[in-house]
Structures are given as C-alpha cells and as structure tokens.
Amino acid sequence: MKTVLTQCKRVVVKVGSSLVTNQGEGLDVQAIVGWAQQIAALRENGCEVVLVSSGAIAEGMQRLGWKQRPSAVHELQAAAAVGQMGLVQVYESCFREHGLRAAQVLLTHADLADRERYLNARSTLRTLLNLNVIPIINENDTVVTDEIKFGDNDTLGALVANLIEADALIILTDQSGLYSADPRKDPAAKLIDAAQAGDAQLESMAGGAGSHIGRGGMITKVLAAKRAARSGAHTVIASGHEKDVLPRLLRGENIGTLLIAPELTLAARKQWLADHLQVGGMITLDAGAVRALRNEGKSLLPIGVTEVSGEFERGAVVAILDDNGRDIARGLVNYTAEETRRIARHPSHEIETILGYVDELELIHRDNLVLL
C-alpha cells in the first residue's frame, strides 16, 4: 500500500518538538544533523522537500534560561524570536554540509487567509524549490495571537501541503503511528497500517495531546491528514526515531500509518476556502438548504438561513452550519452580516425591496462555496 509514496516528487515533512529538542532543553543538534542528511538523500533522488520544523520556543527557553514554558503570549513570542535564530542557524549549517541552501519562511493564518498573500506565499515557495533551496517553515510565533495562530505545526504542515500541491505530507512524531486505541492505556491497541484520510472512525481512535513539549496530539495529525487530502496529498504518520525513516518511506517501506487521499481533489480556489481556520462569521441553515448544498450542488439562497452570527463584510469567508450546529461548508458571502440578517428567511426576489438594492440573488454562489 505504501508504494504510492515511491511516486512522490514533492513532499512536506513535519518534525515535532520531541524530535529536534533534548526533551525541551534546547535543540538536539545531532538529531538535526540526521534530518538534514535524510532530506539531502531525498533531494538526490529528485524529490522536492519543504520542512515544517518545531523547536523554536524550546530553543528560546534554553537560551533565556527558562525552565518552564511560559503561558503569557508576549513571553512565548519573545522565546520564539530568540529561538528562531538558533533553529535556523543549526539547520542552515547542517544543510550546507550537503551542498544545499535553506530558507526560513514564517507564516501566520492571516498570510494564507488573504488571497493575494496566499498566492504570493505559493509563488515564493515554488521559486525556492526550483532554486534547489530547502524552505524551513514555522508559524510566526513572534507575532501570532490566539486569533491568528494555526495552533499546531501538524495543521500548518497540511496547509503548506495544500499551498504547494504536495504529493504527500509526512508527519514525524515520537509515536509509531495511529493506533486503534491509545496504546498507553489499552494493551490490545493495534497499529493502523493504512486507512482513508477523512474517515470519521480515525478521529475516534485518536487520543489527546501526547508530549508536554509540543502542542499537538494524534487528533491534530488525523485532522491534518483530512485537510491535506483535499489537495490530493497522502499523509504518513510515523516515528521519527526509525533509522533513515524518510528515504525508507519514499522507497515504499511499511512504516507507520498511511492515510490515503481520495482521487477527487478540490480546485485550488476551493482549497483556499476550505483551509480557512478563522472565519468572519457563521450562517446556520435549515434542513432544506443543507440538502440543496450537499445533494444538489446548489447555491445558498437567503431563504434557507435561520441564524447569522458575528459581524462580517461583503466578500468575507464565513462558516456554514447545519441545523445541528455542525460545520459543513465555507463560502464567500455576497452581503454583510447586517444585510444577511435582514434578508434571512426571505426569497431572493424580495432582496431589493428589503435592502433597497440587489447585488446578487444568491447569498453565496456555489462557485464560491466548498463543502467540508
């Protein structure tokens, strides 16, 4: 099954905090030497690699002499600013030993939520790959707040995989892969060799956060695989402690858990819509409108709207919920929140009478809507 990885020409590799730090006590330089060596081997075989690496905050804490991870946002930002210096220095020197150049790319959700900045980021990353440079990506922890942070580098890895249309996302952790249950609690838990990305059963199998060093857990990896699959990228969750794990995976060896992307993928614009983690507001629909979107491929009309939450402007990305509060879609809305509240539950031919003008008959056109 993992032979699908032998055909990969572009991959995103995410390495967790536990694989690049000494139990949170600064960077593990020898470990990073190993990652550079493995990535160099992939490049020699013609595979383009983008690296998403944790470790900046842990390195910053070490340099600042802090023993405990701070909770204050400004202190985390300070630690990240200090730690990024060390993280990139080590990677750059290690890649140089293999004749490779590295580039640091720091991203926030705002960079990918704005369509123009999204396209600029994609062009930059593709140019770096064409120049045989290894992009090292991290969340821009020096400026993020709760409103714009990705929350974990698994999600960031998936967003980057969609951004550059990678063939695979390889998530390396300190666990062997996804198990049928938490192996720390259930001795009968079995390693899942392969499954379909987005399978709802996978989320119930995934446990909570594992390491105290990082912020992610198995559930973030499963959700990242679901997100990456939208652009056709397969995901592997595997142990970074396996010797030469990256070259072996791309040779098709049976390591970890492979989450296979479906053959149908979203168009680039709809990938961008689906990847919005933060939205301007929420629009709740009745059952009839949900059926029209899901089963008939229709646009969203105001008559199907039962509730509007938040404040947003025309053209904002909004979340679309069903009548049970489940998040079912994302879309670019044609009217402001205040206008949407006024025309909700009304047929489209009444929009002009209610608002004094009509821009579009649809609240969200199907070309600007993506089901999740």
For 132-186, the pLDDT digits (tens) are 999 999 887 667 665 546 667 899 999 999 999 899 999 999 889 999 887 778 8
- 138 vs 117: CA distance, rounded Å: 16
What's 231's DSSP letter? G
User: Which of 322, 319, 314 has the alpha carbon at shortest distance from 281?
Assistant: 319
Strand partners, 317: 332
pLDDT classification of 211: cutoffs 50, 70, 90:
very low
Supply the pLDDT for residue 221.
93
Q: Which domains does the chain have, with CATH numbers?
A: 2-270 (3.40.1160.10), 279-371 (2.30.130.10)
Average pLDDT value for residue range 224-233: 90
Which three-class secondary structure state does DSSP give residue 320? strand
Q: Are 344 and 309 in contact (CB under 8 A)?
A: no
**How many beta carbons lie within 10 A of that of residue 324, not counting itself?**
9
Supply the pLDDT for residue 150.
65
Supply the pLDDT for residue 135.
97
Supply the pLDDT for residue 149.
65
Q: Which helix (H) or strand (E) holds 202?
A: helix 200-205
Supply the pLDDT for residue 207.
60
Quick: pLDDT tens for 104-126: 999 887 788 777 888 889 899 99
Structure tokens at 285: 């629909």
